[in-house]
Amino acid sequence: MIAKAAGVSVTTASLVLNKKSEQHRIKEDTRIRVEQIAKKMDYQPHAHAQALRTQLSKVIGLIVPDLTNTFAAQVANALEAISREHGYLLLIADSHDDTQTERHILKHFKARGADGLIIASSDPDLHTTVNLPFVQLDRNIADCSAPCVDSNNEIATHQLITNLLDTGFYQTAPIFIGGLPSLSTNKQRWTGFSTALQINGMQPHKLEKDFSTQWGYDAMKQLSIDDNTPCSLFTASMSILEGVLRYLSTHGGLHENHRLATFDNHPLLDILPIRIPSIQQNYTQLAHHAFEQLIACMHKQPTSNHTIFSTINYRLPY
Q: Domains in the chain, ordered, with CATH? A: 2-44 (no CATH), 57-148+283-308 (3.40.50.2300), 153-280 (3.40.50.2300)
pTM of the predicted model as reported, rounded to 2 decimal places: 0.81
pLDDT, residue 49, reads 47
How would you write the pLDDT of the chain (318 residues) with one tens digit per residue? 676 676 777 677 666 666 776 766 777 777 777 677 777 766 666 544 444 344 466 999 999 999 988 999 999 999 999 999 999 999 999 999 999 999 999 999 988 899 999 999 989 888 888 889 999 999 999 889 999 999 999 999 999 999 999 999 998 999 999 999 999 999 999 999 999 999 999 999 999 999 999 999 999 999 876 555 668 999 999 999 999 999 998 888 888 889 999 999 999 999 998 999 999 999 999 999 999 999 999 999 999 999 999 999 998 654
Q: Is 269 left (phi over 0), alpha (psi -120 to 50) or beta?
A: alpha
